[in-house]
Every structure is written in C-alpha cells, then in structure tokens.
Amino acid sequence: MQNYDADYDDYVTISDGAKIGEYVRFGKYVEIGDSAEIGKYVAIGDSAEIGDGVRIDNSAKIGDNARIGKCVEIGDYAKIGDGARFGAKFRCEGLEVIDFFTMSNVGGTGRRIYIYVHTKGITVRAGCFKGSLDEFCEKAEDEGKYLYSRTVRAAAEAFAAEIQRQGKTGGWDK
C-alpha cells in the first residue's frame, strides 16, 4: 500500500503503472497518468492533471488546475502555480513557446536570463526587460555590455538553430 494523503480519495485517479512516493498530498479531482512517478512530500492541488510518464521529484508543489503534459520532468522543490500548463502547446509570457532555457550570471551580472524560442521568433526576459533578441542586444550594447550582448545572442541563436534542426514545433503545428 502506498502512503499518500488524500482527503478526497474517491476523487483521485491514479493510473496503472504510476508510482507514488511517501507523504504525497492530493487535492480533490486529481488525475495521475500512466507510468507517472511522484516523489516524496509532493503536494498536488485540486483539479490537477498529471500526464503519462511525468516525473515529479521530491517536495515539489503543483497548484490547483495545473495541467502537466506527457513525459515532463519537474525537479526537487519546484513550485508550479495555479492554472499552469506544460507539455504540447506550452504558453508563457503570452508566447506560443516551442522551447526555452535559462542562463545565469552572464557577464557577471548575476541576473537570470530566460530565452524563449516561440512561433514568432526569439524573446528574452532579463529582470524587468522583455523583448526580442535584437532589442535585448541593442539595449545591452547601449549600456556598454558588449560581451553580455554577444554571449546571449550566440547562445540564443544556437539554441534556435538546434530546435529547428531537430524539427521541434512545441505542438503548434497541429
């Protein structure tokens, strides 16, 4: 018998092959997909859907109405907010995201940079700034941050080229 806590056991559906760690808390109306793996001390909110093959590591928190698509991996202590959607047709920052990555401490700034490759190009989020890759690089160069600009541009363009080479679409072609 797996040790999990659900006040609403009648409303929690755990598919075949799913593995549930100890001390997992489920809200009501939760669905766990086939072969999903849920670590220890995970909290999953009301009406959440966890897809087939998803792995959620220890102490993660998944908000109410979150939808996690197939084969997504969520690390230790991650917090996924209410209404979040991951998997095919992932939207973030108002963009139809194909893929994204983050960089930290580029040029010694200590700032985390988010680079989104989406259906209309490349968008960069750095602190309060959000704009196209060209806008980001122009602003950085106006501030005399040439190495910062060139490093981010090279990484973003290489990432976008690899996404294209692999034929990734993020599900937006359907």
Average predicted confidence (pLDDT) for the chain: 87
Q: Are 38 and 57 in contact (CB under 8 A)?
A: no
Which pLDDT score is estimated for 110? 74
pLDDT band, very low/low/confident/very high, at 161 (cuts 50, 70, 90):
very high
pLDDT band, very low/low/confident/very high, at 164 (cuts 50, 70, 90):
very high
User: Comparing 44-58, 101-115, 123-137, 157-171, which segment has the lowest mean pLDDT?
Assistant: 101-115
Domains of the chain as residue ranges with CATH? 4-86 (2.160.10.10), 91-166 (no CATH)
DSSP 122-137: EEEEETTEEEEHHHHH
Q: Which residue has the higher pLDDT, 54 or 90?
A: 54
Burial class (CB within 10 angstroms; exposed 0-12, middle 13-18, buried 19+) of 45 = buried
Which pLDDT score is estimated for 140? 93
Q: What is the DSSP letter of 155?
A: H
pLDDT band, very low/low/confident/very high, at 1 (cuts 50, 70, 90):
very low
Torsion of CA 57, 58, 59, 62, to 10 degrees: 30
φ, ψ of residue 161 to 5 degrees: the values are -65, -40
Task: State percent of the chain over pLDDT 70.
Answer: 91
Q: What is the mean pLDDT of residues 132-140?
A: 97
Long-range contacts of residues 111-116, Cβ cutoff 8 Å, at least 24 apart = 113/152, 115/152, 115/155, 115/156, 115/159, 116/92
- Strand-pairing partners, residue 82, are none
pLDDT tens-place string over residues 69-121 = 888 888 888 888 766 666 777 877 888 999 888 888 787 767 789 899 999 99
Burial 135-167 (b: 16+ CB within 10 A, else e): ebbeebeeeebeebbebbbeebeebbeebeeee
